[in-house]
Structure 1
Amino acid sequence: MTTFRASPGVRGRTRPRTGDRTPATVADLVTAVVAPPLPFRFTAYDGSSAGPADAPLGLHVATPRALTYVLTAPGDLGLARAYVAGDLTFGGVTPGDPYPMLRAMADGMHLTRPAVGELRALLQAVGWRTLRPVPPPPQEAPPRWRRAVDGLRPVRRHSRERDADSISRHYDISNAFYEHTLGPSMAYTCAVYATPETSLVDAQAAKFQLVFDKLGLRPGQRLLDVGCGWGSMVRHAARRGVRAVGVTLSAEQAEWAQRAIRDEGLQELAEVRFSDYRDVPDTDFDAVSSIGLTEHIGVAHYPAYFRSLYTRLRPGGRLLNHCITRPENTSAYRTEAFIDRYVFPDGELTGSGRIISAMQDIGFEVRGSENLREHYGLTLRDWCANLERDWDACVAEVGEGTARAWGLYMAASRLGFERNHIQLHQVLAVRPHPDGSAGVPLRPWW
């Protein structure tokens, strides 16, 4: 997850404007607030244009509504609204993978500060009505303060009700859509690549094996996988003789996972429950894996979350926490507006240091931390390639607006991982025995 930015920063005007004419087009508005040269060809519904005529990439403002979205919600949210609605389009890329356009915007699009009078004249020329807010695309979640369950009433963030609603909003859109986008592994988390050319299927298998090895699992042991998704880790462990239980707040995921378990004949070893992790009654697990759940927990709830996992482990049991992180521990937790409204409602990210501290404070002994951010960039590259390849089928499943939102989110996130705006950490910890021993090898064993 990363912000959809048009620019890495704001610069002062690089050339003065004479003011001897009144700008009257959408292109004039763009050239007033973006320093030249534009890294793409810009065109608009009023016939105006700017930027190199032979540029391989293009941005087209197709309707006045697109301008309204951008002007009334500056930054990533307004651009995303216009793009998801189809009122703003990119040329030279596909909606399944707009990464080249986002990279060009991040590298070569720099904002300026026009004089107040010039900006007023520009807005008057394009029409003050463009500043009148219009409803966002139907794919957008309400702002945090207005979020309700079943449309009834606002509820406390990260309550059981609201967490269930947020997870359902994100994951219960179409299992078939995820099958197209994620591929056969049905793993919606960072894969582990031996080389950039490694296939997505092999990289996802390597990720699950890495988790399996770090946890030191052996046949006959018991694994709890919280936030298990479509049960990929559960089935991976069961194939190797481990008794595995997964829990998810997505009913569609649980149904799909149980069917996959039956299809593989793993019923004696594997189970996926439609359940909150806080409601798991079982204890004395040999290991717990949390792969991509911590982002949904809420930083204030880390102590309760890790305490819950701690109590479900036997002494000497291990926890592997795999989640998206920030590169530092001091920034605000909340994700940017586009991600929060269209992708992960109520998602929160923080640095690995804060996660490690929360784990240690409730009694875990941390034995290792690994940053896999480059691997997530490659994973997102491959998901976008799948979405692009199966675009028509994905649109048939979820509609063009949702498919465009997913392509935008995955391409922007890829850029975020590549530029070190966000990271992915696996943190391995153990619940020590009463005498303080951890029962782990002297050197890393994976």
Structure 2
Amino acid sequence: MMEAHPPVRDSAYAVETYDEAYYRSVLRNERYRSHRWRLKWVDYCLDPRPGERIVDLGCGPGLLAKHLASRGAIVHGVDLSPLAVEFARRHNAAYPNCTFAVADASCCRHLPDCSFDKACSVDVTEHCGYETMCGIFAEAHRLLKPGGLYFIYTPNPRHWIEVCRRHHFILKPFPGHTGLRNAEVIIDALRKTGFEIVRHIRPPSMIPVVQWLEKLWSLQPLLPELGVYRIVLLAAKRGG
């Protein structure tokens, strides 16, 4: 069943809310298991290669861009927050193949059509409203060459951690995650934008003990989504 699309605080909220302390905390994640888990799926799905042009839509302080650039890709990151872009430029100063611009990810007027091989939006869609998300998808479609790949990684609102947050049980909701959506909604929006789904992966958490519990849940017909930690999608622009 498709979910409704209630109005949520959108991109401007992130610009106003995420300060220097927030971006510093994000960059500290580079040392943690959660970041390595994220990059595992980036490498598996997007498979960044030397010389490929990749656009990072919603780049934040540049953690993912750094990883892509270290693989030899030519990376361009965009973010609506000037502060995020400032952090991204500093964090990637050692990579001349990595550039950034302050821009709305749904309207990158400085970039020409069909100018990238691949695109990504990692931990982005949960921060924006439905219409903005669709706008980002449309922009990714415009920027990609025919057959180009688009990678999306976002929290699964049906995962047990997100369920606990939503009901204020032990955990509190993350204030920035105002646009959590089920995979069906994201897939439907991608298809309407002109993409076809190449991969839909349902990974568990990155902690082995928790993975065991989540695998048990996945065997129950009424509880399978409780064990799906993230929504991982790879889409291809039609026409390639």
When normalised by structure 2's length, the TM-score is 0.73
Query: 1:432: Cα distance to partner?
Result: 2.4
2:116–2:144: 8 Å Cα contact kept in structure 1? Answer: yes
Does the CA contact (< 8 Å) of 1:326 and 1:422 recur in 2?
no
Equivalent in 420, 426, 431 of residue 226 of structure 2: 420
- Equivalent of 2:202 in 350, 371, 396: 371
- The AA in structure 1 aligned to 2:181 is T
* TM-score w.r.t. length of structure 1: 0.42
CA distance in 1, matches of 2:70, 2:154: 24
Deviations 1:327-379 (A, max 9, x none): 39xxxxxx67963xx7217x122210111111112221101111234238999
Poorly superposed stretches of 4+, deviation over 4 Å: 335-338, 376-379
- CA spacing shift, 1:167–1:218, aligned 2, 3 Å: same
Decide whether the 8 Å contact of 1:157 with 1:163 is kept in 2: no
Other-structure match for 2:18: 171
Matched, 1:222 2:53: yes
Q: Does 1:343 align with 2:175?
A: yes
Which structure 1 segments of 5+ residues have no match?
1-155, 187-199, 329-334, 380-418, 438-446
| Residue matched to 1:275 | 103
Shift of 1:278: 2.3
1:428–1:257 distance in 2 versus 1, CA, 3 Å: same
Identity %: 23
Cα distance in 1 between the residues matched to 2:167 and 2:131: 18
Indicate conservation of the 8 Å contact 1:319/1:428, yes or no: yes
Residues 201, 231 of structure 2: 8 Å contact kept? yes
Amino acid at match of 1:260: H
Aligned to 1:10: none
Q: Matches of 1:378 and 1:270 in 2, distance apart?
A: 37
Instruction: Compute the displacement of 1:431 (Å).
Output: 0.6
Secondary structure of the residue that 1:234 maps to in structure 2?
helix
- The 8 Å contact of residues 122 and 152 in structure 2, kept in 1 or not, is answered as yes
Cα RMSD after superposing both structures: 3.1
Contact 1:172 1:251 survives alignment (8 Å): no
Higher Rg: 1
Cα offset for 1:235?
A: 1.2
Partner in structure 2 of residue 359 of structure 1: 190
Query: For residues 305-329 of structure 1, what are the alpha-carbon distances to aligned partners after superposition, in whole Å with 9 as ceiling and x for unaligned?
Result: 322211111101000111112339x
- Aligned partner of 1:274: which letter? V
- The equivalent of 1:207 in structure 2 is 38
- The whole-number CA distance in structure 1 between the counterparts of 2:60 and 2:47 is 22
Aligned residues of 1:227 and 1:246 also touching (Cα < 8 A): yes
C-alpha distance in 2 between matches for 1:216 and 1:323: 18
The residue aligned with 1:430 is: 236
Partner of 2:220: none
Q: Following the alignment from structure 1 to structure 2, what is the Cα–Cα distance between the partners of residues 304 and 378?
A: 39
Query: Match for residue 293 of structure 1?
Result: 124
Q: Note the alpha carbon deviations across 1:271-299, whole angstroms, 9 max, x for none.
A: 12222112323232111110011112223
- Cα deviations by residue, 1:91-135 (Å, 9 ceiling, x for unpaired): xxxxxxxxxxxxxxxxxxxxxxxxxxxxxxxxxxxxxxxxxxxxx
The 1:173–1:213 alpha-carbon spacing in structure 2 relative to 1, beyond 3 Å, is: same
Taking the aligned partners of 1:219 and 1:173, their CA distance within structure 2 comes to 32
Which of 69, 76, 82 matches 1:238? 69
1:27-79 Cα offsets, whole Å, 9 max, x none, are xxxxxxxxxxxxxxxxxxxxxxxxxxxxxxxxxxxxxxxxxxxxxxxxxxxxx
Aligned residue pairs total: 208
CA–CA distance in structure 1, aligned partners of residues 60 and 116 of structure 2? 19
Alignment check: 8 A CA contact 2:37 2:206 kept: no
Q: 1:230 to 1:273 in 2, by over 3 A?
A: same
| Residue range with higher mean Cα deviation, 271-280 or 289-298 | 271-280
